[in-house]
Structure 1
Amino acid sequence: MTEPGPSPLAPPPSVDVVLPCLDEAAALPGVLRRLPAGYRAIVVDNGSTDGSAAVARAHGAVVVREERRGYGAAVHAGLLAATADVVACCDADGSFDLAQLPRVVDRVRDGGADLALGRRRPDARRAWPAHARLANAVLAAELRRRTGRRVHDLGPMRAARRDALLALGLVDRRSGYPLELFLRAADAGWRIAEVDVGYRPRVGRSKVTGTVRGTVTAVRDMSRLLREVPA
């Protein structure tokens, strides 16, 4: 369900930015203030109880409610609500500076890539916990071996064209969504590029890779996908 956002008289966005959100009211004001001109934020409220939706609307974002819990469910709901040709995705927890989005988006808009991934470069040691960094490195190594693509980080900041993303027919609605996207895109022959982006400590406590339990859940989801998606 999409709730009212900016005035319909506003010019159409050049880029839609999907921000999956679960209890990120404290982070959203700082995140949304850094949104580049011409970009529109689509905050997907995935069951928040802290007033995140109201905060997002107050800072000019379109708010979409997705009742089904899961990262993939939230991202897909935002993608369906988007109308811009190019759609970016990013965490809403303050760990990324949205002002850096053009680094990623421009690789797609200038035709240099079909899928651009933000490679996280931590600004502080505690920005990326050791267990999460190790899990990411192991996954990236397996993807390099499996696909032959040079990839080092399957991070949450990325961009691609909306119609192409929908055409991939992604079905994962949990933590495995980014992995399925990468595997399907590589199998389809997409040009995939990595771009360095800053990564800093999130606002508040992480619900996924910031905890060992969350990392284990993500690894389980992604391991299942590696088994199910043909090499």
Structure 2
Amino acid sequence: MTDVVLPCRNEAAALPDLLARMPAGYRPLVVDNGSTDGSAEVARAYGAEVISVAEPGYGAAVHAGVVAANPADGVVCVMDADGSFDPAQLPRVAAPVLAGTAQLGTGRRRPAVRGAWPLHARIANAVLARRLRRSSGLPVYDIGPIRAVRRDDLLTLELRDRRFGYPLELLIAAGRAGWRVVEVDVDYHPRAAGTRSKVTGTVLGTVRAVRDMSAVLAR
């Protein structure tokens, strides 16, 4: 069984379809990060384990989910809970890690339809990924929110960021540790109706994410 950490804040509209499409062998852990729309109740109704985290921030939610994941399962996946990714593609991301050919599997977003990934967010992502390639040598083109890694390996990196800088800090730490990182293409869909991304949904959200990630690069 592979645990799937789903950081969640006000994703009640997306969770039913997302959880219903979780592939066999993948167990959802919904990490509720201050939702006010009943996300936790929806997740439980669809059979998911729910972890509540008071500390705000994407990194705080992911870290809590990773800590709560079953150590015996070995590999843990992380995926946004807003319906933008197809859970059926999780095995594609996890395959290199499960096979032992990589320590970290990540997804490179490929928009499934026009407008799925707003231009301002794509440009910011491309700039950050280019800086990462130059500084680390990792062949990564997306600071993406879908990934797979062995739980114990991830915890040994002792990542500190608890905000939007977490994904970038993970990649930097993986590069420094000499990990092999494999990036695979994944479909990127419009979010479920009634949800809005905390990063790409607004220019301000993207600015905040870039600020957090730039702080990580500066360290």
Q: Cα deviation per residue 1:115-167 (whole Å; 9 max; x = unaligned)? A: 00011010012110000000000011111111112111111010000000000
- Equivalent in 194, 214, 217 of residue 223 of structure 1: 214
Q: Where do 4+ consecutive residues of structure 1 move more than 4 Å?
A: none
SS of residue in 1 equivalent to 2:142:
coil
Deviation, 1:207, is 2.0
Q: 5 Å matches for 1:205-224? A: 205-224=196-215
- 1:38-57 paired onto structure 2 within 5 Å: 38-57=25-44
Tell me by how many angstroms 1:218 deviates.
0.5
- For 1:97-176, list aligned pairs within 5 A: 97-176=86-165
Matched to 2:207, the amino acid is V
Q: What TM-score comes out, normalization by structure 2 length?
A: 0.97
Normalised to the residue count of structure 1, the TM-score between the two structures is: 0.92
Q: Which runs of 5+ in 2 are unaligned?
A: none
For residues 5-42 of structure 1, the C-alpha deviation after alignment (integer angstroms, 9 at most, x for no partner) is: xxxxxxxxx10000000000000001111111111100
Which whole-Å CA distance do the structure 2 matches of 1:149 and 1:60 have between them? Answer: 38
RMSD: 0.7
Mapped to 1, the partners of 2:196 and 2:218 lie a distance apart of 31
1:152-210 CA distances to partner (integer Å, 9 max, x unpaired)?
A: 11110100000000000001000000000000010000000001110000122222222
Structure 2: distance between partners of 1:207 and 1:163 = 28
How many residue pairs align between the two structures? 215
CA contact 1:128–1:210 (8 Å) conserved in 2: no
One-letter identity of the residue aligned with 1:127:
A
Which structure 1 segments of 5+ residues have no match? 1-13
Which letter does structure 1 place at the counterpart of 2:170?
L
**Identical amino acids, percent of aligned pairs:** 66
